[in-house]
Structure 1
């Protein structure tokens, strides 16, 4: 689903930037995009995605810290192989 949204956003942006339809068409597309963004279903999906990311953040942060410690250890070992 994310690919579909990205494709549609890219297609819309390309059309707006490349079209010679003028300011009126731009304003029409801009209004439609604002309407779609402000729709309850879109805002619900955004809220759900944000909540899911917030729930995953602590475990993701822990994983990042582990990777940073591993990288630091590898770098220290390369710098001083006797340690």
Structure 2
């Protein structure tokens, strides 16, 4: 069923682009799209959306920095846990004393790794654009005589 839908869609696109009557339909559709895009009401909404995105960048950036810090701490903890586990296995310490000493070293190693290896993330600030990104001025529609 999906293959038929794709085929019919491809056929329709080929008709619109390839045939004379389809080409006229395509040109009319294109002109309407350009006219709509250059409409002052549409450009006003685009400007509002751009302003909203600019206002939300610091908030989202702060949340991303916090998430990155948490992820880095988690990765550091997991890596140190895995490292101490491998060290215990390689050194051949098996039995009652091995896991308990491994757990003690794991706690110390994870604390040391998460604070010393990722201190730069604690002071992370949100990324914001250095230059002002003002939205482009709305362009008049073709044939529009307003100045």
TM-score exceeds 0.5? yes
Alpha-carbon offset, residue 19 of structure 1? 6.8
How big is each residue's C-alpha offset from its partner over 1:11-69, in whole Å with a ceiling of 9 and x where there is no partner?
xxx7xx63734211101000000011110111000000000010111111011011011
Aligned residue runs from structure 1 range 1-83, under 5 A: 18=13, 20-21=15-16, 22-81=22-81, 82=106, 83=110
CA distance in 1, matches of 2:69, 2:56: 20
TM-score for both structures, normalised by structure 2: 0.43
CA distance in 2, matches of 1:19, 1:48: 37
Number of equivalences: 68
2:15 aligns to what SS in structure 1? Answer: coil
Indicate the structure whose relative CO is greater, using CA pairs within 8 Å and at least 6 residues apart: 2
1:77/1:71 Cα in 2 relative to 1: closer, same or farther (>3 Å)?
same
| Structure with more helix by fraction | 1
CA distance in 2, matches of 1:57, 1:31: 34
CA distance in 2, matches of 1:34, 1:41: 13
Q: Give the greater-gyration-radius structure (CA).
A: 2
RMSD, aligned CA: 1.6
Gaps (5+ residues) in structure 1?
Answer: 1-13
CA distance in 1, matches of 2:14, 2:31: 17
